[in-house]
Amino acid sequence: MHRAGVDALLVSVGSDLPYLTGYEAMPLERLTMLVVPRDGDATLVVPRLEAPRVVEQPGVFTLLPWGETDDPVALVAGLVGRPAVAAVGDTMWARFLVELLGHWPTDATRYVRSTSVMNDLRMRKDVAEIAALQAAGAAADRVAAQLHAGDIPLVGRTEAAVSADISARLIAEGHDVVNFAIVAAGENAASPHHHASDRVIREGEVVLCDFGGTMAGYCSDITRCVSLGEPPAEVADAYAVLHEAQAAGVAAGVVGAACQDVDRAARRIIDAAGLGEYFIHRTGHGIGMEAHEDPYMVEGNDLPIEAGHAFSVEPGIYVPGKWGMRLEDIVVAAADGPLSMNHADHALVTLG
């Protein structure tokens, strides 16, 4: 906070709170807020009825429960004198920020995002966090292996049914929650975030599966495609380009490179193959307690990659109305090179 010039840090619902305190707040209309003055002690303000769920951490924060007739925002404002700079969490509800503005108007308080304080901490994963990402990645890999082995029936089922099947398997493999299970067949795969529908999967199609969840607080995220029958040459050739681009993106994720270098490495190969117009999104996103968090692997992000940075490398090629494909692994930058959290087969596995 000293380095960032922040006088007060206010963290409400979202993952900064469990990161700092071990307590995950319910996203309720009743305010929960960790209040950290730059030179004082931290206070966790919680609704009284939620207080029993908090595991107290003496030396980290003091617990301050508020009752149903209290004004919790006034309570928060009273814990800190008038800060010149207040850092507020990205996912604090607007209603609380609006009320806070009544106590600390902008003529004397400047508001900044809590990322100014939290990003350095959150992006650089420590040994325990990397182990958690590895465990989540291995669990997602086991579901990908089931997909590749043909254990998950595809032909004749709807995308939605396969999505539910994959979700159940993520839980069976140890995830606590499923964050998403995109299943997109044929032309639907040309929409990167296609919502699994009642569309029935047919012989001869490429099916894109992008799934992940949270396991012991940390996220998995993997994309694999399978071909139901021998793929046409156009698809097989494009997949070879995608495979090479993804590997190049992973290889570029070294300590000291810029985040945008990962994007450039993958994009260069897809561009060179004449398919650049079909790669319509950034190459990757950071991952940790959230499925998408800093740092982002995108042109314009010159942030240097540091040891412990965890991110996806997921180039895609999407031909509208025809087909789509994406290949995604989670990678953690380490002193001796990129460490992949995913080891499932990278090939376009042919089934049936």
- Closest to Zn ion by CB, 109 or 283: 283
Rounded CA gap, 141 and 222, in Å? 8
Closest distance between Zn ion and the C-beta of residue 92, in Å?
A: 24
DSSP 189: G
Out of 15, 312, 331, 332, the residue judged to bind Zn ion by CB under 5 A: 312
Out of 221, 293, 294, 329, the residue judged to bind Zn ion by CB under 5 A: 221
Per CB under 5 A, does 167 bind Zn ion? no
Q: Where are the beta strands (DSSP E) in the chain?
A: 8-11, 33-37, 43-47, 62-66, 85-88, 110-113, 177-185, 206-215, 218-219, 222-228, 284-286, 293-297, 310-313, 316-319, 323-326, 329-332, 339-340, 349-351
Residues 279-308 that bind Zn ion (CB under 5 A): none
Q: Which stretch binds Zn ion (CB under 5 A): 160-168, 194-202, 210-218, 237-245?
A: 210-218
Instruction: With beta carbons less than 8 A apart as the criterion, state whether 330 and 222 touch.
Output: yes
Closest distance between Zn ion and the C-beta of residue 208, in Å?
A: 10
Closest distance between Zn ion and the C-beta of residue 176, in Å?
A: 18
Q: Which stretch binds Zn ion (CB under 5 A): 93-101, 161-169, 208-216, 296-304?
A: 208-216
Q: Which stretch binds Zn ion (CB under 5 A): 46-54, 82-90, 222-230, 331-339?
A: 222-230
- Closest to Zn ion by CB, 11 or 310: 310
- Closest to Zn ion by CB, 117 or 208: 208
- Closest to Zn ion by CB, 141 or 221: 221
Number of residues this chain uses to bind Zn ion (CB under 5 A): 5
Backbone angles phi, psi at 44, to 5 degrees: -100, 110
Long-range contacts of 25-34 (CB under 8 A, 24+ apart): 25/50, 26/50, 29/93, 29/95, 30/72, 31/66, 31/72, 31/73, 31/76, 31/96, 33/72, 33/76, 33/92, 33/96, 34/9, 34/10, 34/61
- Closest to Zn ion by CB, 293 or 328: 328
Number of continuous H segments (helices) and E segments (strands) in the chain: 8, 18
- Closest to Zn ion by CB, 261 or 328: 328
Q: Which stretch binds Zn ion (CB under 5 A): 48-56, 158-166, 169-177, 217-225?
A: 217-225
Rg (CA), the chain: 23
- Closest to Zn ion by CB, 177 or 200: 177
Query: Do the strands 177-185 and 206-215 form a parallel or antiparallel pair, or are they unpaired?
Result: antiparallel
Out of 187, 210, 263, 290, the residue judged to bind Zn ion by CB under 5 A: 210
Q: Which stretch binds Zn ion (CB under 5 A): 106-114, 246-254, 325-333, 342-350?
A: 325-333
- Closest to Zn ion by CB, 16 or 328: 328
Q: Distances from the Cα of 239 to the Cαs of 11, 51, 79, 227, 305, in angstroms?
A: 43, 53, 57, 11, 28
Q: Which stretch binds Zn ion (CB under 5 A): 61-69, 82-90, 155-163, 223-231?
A: 223-231
Closest distance between Zn ion and the C-beta of residue 323, in Å?
A: 18
List residues near Zn ion by CB under 5 A.
Answer: 210, 221, 223, 312, 328
